[in-house]
Amino acid sequence: MVFSSIRNKNLISWSTMITAFVQNGHTDRALDAFLAMNVDGLFPDAVTFKSILSACSHAGLFEHGFFHFDLLVHDFGIAPTMDHFKCMVDLLGRSGRLLEAEELVQTMPFVPDDVTWNTLLAACRVHKSVERGKRAAEMLLELTSEIPGYYVLLSNIHAAAGDHAEKAKVRDLMEARGVRKKPGWSTIEINDRFHEFTAGEKFQHPKKQQILEELKRLSVLMKEAGYVPDTTEVLRLVNEDEKESLLFFHSEKLAITCGLISTPPGTTLRVVKNLRVCSDCHSATKFISKITRRKIIVRDLNRFHHTENGVCSCGDYW
């Protein structure tokens, strides 16, 4: 490792390494590095603490998160920034403490921005807190009404609650405001060549027929193993079969399948996606990794997902 070869590690090199561990879901290694840095006689700064708090929230380490926030304030005398409070909102939200998360958003010594409200909204989606999610979405869309992902999250909350009328209203609101969901694309590198896929059945690729045949085969095996398509991810008002068909052609599924048919068994697949991975593709990737015995790494808009034997490094929260 390059990091290990550095003789005189400074705060920047330690913080960079800790951040890299966090982004790749290696929480234990991030915490170990934080401890080693302190043993080395280096004091963490606000940036280092942001990474550590993020690691604790992503791993669901509630007590560790509050312990390090306390260290930040009382032991190192660092004034918490808005980024630190966002991490704590995320930590509370991931832990299912939505009331406390909402109270922190409302009482922290900063005016909440769209990222803060979106953090709460994402937690409401995971824990199916519809009314609180609506409140977060209202505040969020007052601050910015141009980001499609915010509408999608709100729509998913309504869909999960079975309120399809409200879901339709969200879609209508997007149309009225001229907000369009950005087209999804995914790329995979195979033999020093990049293969890019866009979502939809009209994608172009020399191996299109083989990709579709393999994906159909995998879909059967996945369902036999317990996979259920998450049709709440589809905003269009179409029947369930059509929703499942739309999910089938999501770009990361196409990229992963291309990788499977183009590389030797056991080869790690690395995919980059321009948007946040949807819950259906996240679930499908886990099933595919287990069925094919492959490690699949997906870099989406938020983070790296290292999936192996049906388990993702993000702990199913991203």
- The mean pLDDT value for 177-201 works out to 91
For 308, the enclosing helix (H) or strand (E) is strand 304-308
| The two three-digit tokens of residue 7, written as one number | 């003789």
Q: How confident is the model over 153-174, as pLDDT tens digits?
A: 888 788 777 787 888 888 888 8
Q: How confident is the model over 17-67, as pLDDT tens digits?
A: 999 998 888 889 999 999 999 998 899 999 999 999 999 998 889 999 999
Q: Where are the beta strands (DSSP E) in 143-260?
A: 185-190, 193-198
Nearest to 313 by CA among 289, 291, 293: 289
Residue 280 in contact with residue 233, Cβ under 8 Å? yes
Residue with tokens 């109270």: 103
Residue 235 in contact with residue 229, Cβ under 8 Å? no
State how beta strands 269-273 and 295-299 pair.
parallel
